[in-house]
Amino acid sequence: MEESTDRPTKKKVVAVVGGGLVGALNACFFAKRGFDVKVFETREDIRQAKIVKGRSINLALSHRGRQALNHVGMEDKIVSQGIPMHARMIHSLSGKQSPIPYGKKGQYILSVDRSNLNKELLTAAETYPNTKLNFDHKLQDWRAETGLMTFVRSDGSEEQIKADLIVGCDGAFSAIRKQFLRRSRFNYSQTYIPHGYMELTIPPINGEFSMKPNYLHIWPRNTFMMIALPNTDKTFTCTLFMPFDEFEKITTGDEVIEFFQKYFPDTIPLIGVDALKRDYFHLPAQAMVSVKCSPYHIGDTCVLMGDAAHAVVPFYGQGMNAGFEDCIVFDEILDQFNDDFSVVLPEYTRVRVPDDHAIADLAMYNYVEMRAHVNSKWFLFRKHVDNFLHFLMPKTLVPLYTMVTFTRTRYHQALERWKWQDKMINRGLLFSATGAVFGGSYLLIKNPPDIDKLIVPAEKMWNSIVALRTS
């Protein structure tokens, strides 16, 4: 990767606050454009840390994220380190397994390791000579009017830097966003869902995967669920999503086993009784928050991206993909307006806010689908209908999941189109059913059956029932 030479010699300074996934990828984007990029991360360098703190829910990389990685030459490397998942594998209470494909043949999402991906992106950012990574730098204060920022290190020392653009990529509890909250006409909301999550591990058996690896495994139980994603070390990371009050009812190891015997009996031999009793109490259930805000910018000096702008619950597998798409959308707008921040930042807010709000809503909806709807025969029937119609009319009728996961259709447009399609398909099914009823009625009227022939078998059936009940 080389620094671009077709930019002005006087470089603008871009300060990226947050060295997580979106921050590290953003550093690559800005460095590629020739900006002087400085990344500031509160934590130590995770590439050298013995224990990496933070969330570890497996990530599902799909088309939007891959497109952003491709833009900075990272797609092939990351894809080679992931595991393709071609379908959901639904585990019933009886242990039966039923696959539900994600899309057309050949379409898949990738299970990727969060920590490894973050390390790869930091290393990629560091290869640009115009990028400097600064770890152990906690943001203490900043000024939108001047671009002046103050950071504090763990030893108590301070450092000030001035930036032409401040990019807040510092997560759902963003320090950058706190300044936004002090300004008028900034809309902000956060919603904690009543469900938490807990991670467990299914180890390999004889060095191999203990379940089929190329699936996202789901145990839907209506009000809660468990999922499992494959890892390259042949383990599965299981995540149990459940209301907090249900987590709190389980207080002993025996109660853990009793709970799993009731709802996830097929996983007990896979996880192991002792491991279940131990790991369930290793960490308490963690909360999940959905954040919406607007605008994403202040003047021409600061902009929010990733979870700092739109934290979403993890049920559509789009949190990282949406954050990565932020990077490529911003880059496209920089191209459109020749790096003029005074025009680029308002345009980014205008374009991106409705999409990020839409994916936040879709992520909430998909939790209900994953834990409950996949058990429904009507849901499965509609899936077949949707896929069949998509096969017949690939450009006219596109399933929602396909639009969200395998295209860059804007999220809010995908949501609107899905609502329209759903209404049209349901009407079509209703008309078809109504037509079948009227057609059947017409045939019965034109060709009435012999009633005498129907009465005799009916009488025999009734007599048999009476005999059984009295025996």
Residues 62, 408: Cα–Cα separation, whole Å: 10
Least confident of 26-35, 94-103, 149-158, 256-265: 94-103
Tokens of 387: 């896929």
Q: Give, in order, the Cα–Cα distances in Å from 413 to each of 408, 410, 416, 419.
A: 10, 5, 5, 10
Model pLDDT for residues 25-65, shown as the tens digit of each residue: 999 999 999 999 999 999 999 999 876 555 556 799 999 99
Strand partners, 236: 202, 230
**Are both 167 and 272 inside the same structural domain?**
yes
Whether residue 3 lies inside any domain: the answer is: no
428, pLDDT greater than 80: no
Residues 351, 438: one domain?
Answer: no
Alpha-carbon gap, residue 175 to 42, rounded angstroms? 11
**Rounded distance, CA 199 to CA 236, Å?**
10
Cis peptide before 354 (omega within 30 of 0): no
| Bridge partners, residue 303, by sequence | 167, 297
The residue count for the chain: 471
Q: Do 227 and 331 have their domain in common?
A: yes
Task: Kindly tell me if the per-residue pLDDT of 212 is higher than 50.
Answer: yes
Q: Rg of the chain over CA atoms, in angstroms?
A: 27
Same domain, 291 and 320: yes
Res. 442: pLDDT tops 70: no
Same domain, 54 and 148: yes
Whether 354 maps to a domain, the answer reads yes
Same domain, 159 and 95: yes
If asked whether residues 209 and 280 sit together in one domain, one would say: yes
Does one domain contain both 281 and 422? no
Of 362, 391, 409, the residue that ends a domain is 362
Residue 463 placed within a domain:
no
Q: Is residue 134 within 8 Å of 38, Cβ to Cβ? A: yes
The DSSP 8-state label assigned to residue 205 in this structure reads: B
Residues 297 and 167 in one domain: yes
CB count in 10 Å sphere of residue 442: 10
Rounded CA separation 236/203 (Å): 7
Domain presence at residue 454: no
pLDDT value of position 390: 67
Give the largest CA-CA distance in the chain.
99
Distance CA(205)–CA(211), nearest Å, equals 9
Would you say 224 and 195 are in contact if contact means Cβ atoms under 8 Å apart? yes
457 within domain boundaries = no
Q: Which residue has the higher pLDDT, 188 or 423?
A: 188
41 domain residue, yes or no = yes
Whole domain around residue 437: which residue ranges?
A: 377-445
Same domain for 399 and 305, yes or no, is no
**Residue 408 and residue 354 share a domain:** no
336 vs 367: CA distance, rounded Å: 37
**Whole-angstrom distance, CA of residue 48 vs CA of residue 32:** 25
How far apart are alpha carbons 384 and 157 in whole angstroms? 61
Place 8 in a pLDDT band, splitting at 50, 70 and 90: very low
Q: DSSP letter at 471?
A: -
Q: How far apart are CA 49 and CA 445, in angstroms?
A: 80
pLDDT at 344 > cutoff 90: yes
Residue 364 is predicted with a pLDDT of: 86
CATH of the domain at 343: 3.50.50.60
In this structure, is residue 453 part of a structural domain?
Answer: no
- pLDDT tens digit sequence for 236-248: 999 999 999 999 9
Residues 300 and 431 grouped into a single domain: no
Least confident of 138-147, 245-254, 366-375: 366-375
Average pLDDT along the chain: 88
- When divided into structural domains, the chain yields a total of 2
Which one has a higher pLDDT value, 180 or 459?
Answer: 180
> Stretch 349-366: mean pLDDT, rounded?
93
Does a structural domain hold residue 176? yes
